Copies of this chain bind each other. A is one copy, B any other.
Amino acid sequence: MVVDDLSDGELDRVFRALADPTRRDILVRTMRAGESVSSLAAHYRMSFAAVQKHVAVLERAGLVNKQRHGREQIVHGDPETLHRATTLLERYERLWTDRATRIAGILADEEGSTT
């Protein structure tokens, strides 16, 4: 199972995209259901163009995609990319437990034999 193969550049974009409250909010909304860019823009106190830029950042990161529908552009959250990021963090967490296990192993060795 190929769990995760995001390149360094992709990871940069994914985490950078997540490092902004407006973008996280957009992600949450579009994960729940698709929403047009202007509909999204209505939720925030910034200009339409600013929201458009935030969506573009999320899109470049692969966290959302856009689907044309008439004159509207519907933004959808992409669970796949999000899942890959989650998996990576879980792997980082595992480094810690592996380390604990390794130390436990060393201690066990010292108690019983060589050295």
Bound CA span A15–B18, Å? 6
A20 contacts the other chain (Cβ, under 8 Å)? yes
Q: How many copies does the complex hold?
A: 2
User: Interface on chain A toward B: helix, strand, loop, or mixed SS?
Assistant: helix
- Given the complex, which residues of B lie within 8 Å of A95, measured CB to CB? 28, 31-32, 77
Chain A: residues with CB nearer than 8 A to chain B?
8, 11-16, 18-21, 24, 27-28, 31-33, 77, 79, 82-83, 85-86, 89-90, 92-93, 95-99
Contact of B24 with A19 in the complex, beta carbons under 8 Å: no
Closest B residue by C-beta to A94:
B31
B93 touches A86 (CB 8 A): yes
Contact call A32/B99, Cβ cutoff below 8 A: yes
